Amino acid sequence: MPAAIDHVGFQARLQPQRLAFAELFSERRWTYAQFDAAIGRTATVLADVHRVRAGDRVASLARNRAELILLHLACARLGAIYVPLNWRLSGTELAVLVKDADPIILLGDAELDRPELQNLQHCEPSLGTLDDFATLCDAAPPMPERPIDQDAASLILYTSGTSGRPKGVLLSERNLTQTAINFGRLGRVTHRSVFLTDSPMFHIIGLVTCIRPAFLHGGATLATAGFDPPRTLAFMADPSLAVTHYFCVPQMAAMLRAQPQFHPAALSRLTAIFTGGAPHPANLIRAWLNDGLSVVDGYGMSEAGTVFGMPIDQNCIAARMGSCGIAPPSLSTRIVNDAYEDCEDMVPGELLLKGDNIFKEYWRRPQETQAAFAPGGWFRTGDIALRDSAGFHYLVDRKKDMFISGGENIYPAEIEAAVAGHPQVAECAVIGVPDTRWGEVGHLVLVATGGQALDTKSVLARIETRLARYKLPKHVTILEALPRNGAGKVVKAELRSLLGVS
């Protein structure tokens, strides 16, 4: 028998009848043997029906379903490149990405029914429904196994575009496997692990972090139709599902705790709830710990997959609340100043990374690829971080979000963290805006809790006790909601537009 060609193929031999993947919004379930065969049939249809060859792109535009994972892994077996598209984008935005990726075929569900995708010019992928595609795959024979080039690109993830036009992050199988190893070690993943994923499968969490570590270790992934607080909490508490790993942003974790049916004892099977993408207020972390549940902050990005993670140990979490954790041994890190000199402990600087998890390049953007790497091949994350003497890292802010007020560097995330926990504030964001006297000043945007009245003076009074006066925002606006992307991150470029700030 030929050697297993990927982690699913390996698990199909090691434990063929163990659950690999299930859809909680349908009755579809696959053992490793069944999922391995389904990947092979998907590869056959791509190659024989759609004439997909090595290097070709295969795009999708659909809500979560098994076919999105099957397409990705089948592309890896063919040497092709999978391109999942963000269905939350407008038709015009999607048309731009389709032209950029230039796929052979675009497969999807009802999300394909957009005029802009039906009338593409200079790029004419064939369009097809995933239902029809799945029917073809059911009748096809599995493609014979072949070796996979670990350094060949198998995925393009378009960045969220929080500022400017999204870029296609080109990731190889080696990059993706290393991310699985990194998270597996940081997150205590085993063959008994069960991941619950609400995250959309156009994002690295939904497509990679909730999938690859599970398949690497022989665990299972349960996919939902999307985040719905009462439904998600019920899945997490269901003993028959035995969920051990769940990813969300801090705002989602807070919504889960706020549910009337929230009972900590029902979640005792969880290894942890893993959070990231935004500052996690210490008082909210402490509340989870008081309930005996680990809430583990981490850090990652499309270009690097899993980078940092806090230990699962609750005493360690309590001692270093606000830290995004430590790096695995496979990853090298530096924190540098503007002259690329290494910073001392607890001195903020730009975070640089090097390791097998770091992306290959930006798709068809050689200049931006070159700009993303510092001398010596270090990837410039654009994030400002600091490290303590024990190697625990703390994110300060995005380098591009920092503004200078009266000659002082101001980090919006620091102000946002000071506001977090105010009983009247559900969420907040800070941007720097022009000011004739100080050059730039902070503009604080607030969203009230549960539609309640919000006293901005009490919010500013809270900040005054926590921050230096030069950091205090000079403008305050209340909105009904903050603009967010598919990853749950605040889109500050859109926020600036809403506020009429250039």
What CATH number corresponds to the domain at position 495? 3.30.300.30
Query: In the chain, which residues have pLDDT < 50?
Result: 1-3, 162-163
Is residue 93 included in any domain, yes or no?
A: yes
Q: Look at residue 437 in the predicted model and tell me its pLDDT.
A: 78
Q: What is the CATH number of the domain that holds 120?
A: 3.40.50.12780
- Of 181, 211, 232, which one is at a domain's C-terminal end? 181
- Tokens representing 5 are 């060609």
Q: Look at residue 486 in the predicted model and tell me its pLDDT.
A: 60
Q: What is the pLDDT of residues 430-450, one digit of tens each?
A: 999 988 878 789 999 999 988
- Full residue range of the structural domain in which residue 54 is found: 7-181
CA distances from 125 to 57, 115, 157, 229, 334 (A): 10, 15, 18, 37, 42
**Is-contact 84 103, C-beta < 8 A?**
no
Q: What is the pLDDT of residues 64-99, one digit of tens each?
A: 999 999 999 999 999 999 999 999 888 888 888 999
Is residue 226 included in any domain, yes or no?
A: no
Q: Look at residue 162 in the predicted model and tell me its pLDDT.
A: 44
Q: Look at residues 488, 475, 487, 397 and name the one whose alpha carbon lies nearest to residue 443.
A: 475
Is residue 383 included in any domain, yes or no?
A: no
Is residue 378 included in any domain, yes or no?
A: no
Task: Quickly tell me which residue has 């997909």 as its tokens.
Answer: 52
Q: Look at residue 160 in the predicted model and tell me its pLDDT.
A: 61
- Of 163, 181, 199, which one is at a domain's C-terminal end? 181
Give me the number of domains the chain comprises: 2
- Tokens representing 387 are 């490290």
Q: Look at residue 1 in the predicted model and tell me its pLDDT.
A: 44
How far apart, in whole angstroms, are the C-alpha atoms of residue 84 and residue 68? 8
Is residue 301 included in any domain, yes or no?
A: no
Is residue 159 included in any domain, yes or no?
A: yes
- Of 160, 181, 202, which one is at a domain's C-terminal end? 181
Task: Quickly tell me which residue has 């597996």 as its tokens.
Answer: 184
- Residue 261 main-chain phi, psi, to 5 deg: -90, 10
Q: Look at residues 234, 219, 289, 312 and name the one whose alpha carbon lies nearest to residue 266.
A: 234
User: How many helices (H) does the chain have, and how many strands (E)?
Assistant: 17, 25
Task: Quickly tell me which residue has 């690109």 as its tokens.
Answer: 153
Is residue 125 included in any domain, yes or no?
A: yes
How far apart, in whole angstroms, are the C-alpha atoms of residue 389 and residue 401? 26
Is residue 47 included in any domain, yes or no?
A: yes
What is the SS3 assignment for 90?
Answer: coil
Output the 3-class SS for 173-211: HHHHHHHHHHHHHHCCCCCCCEEEECCCCCCHHHHHHCC
Q: What is the pLDDT of residues 398-435, one digit of tens each?
A: 767 878 787 677 878 888 888 988 889 988 999 999 88
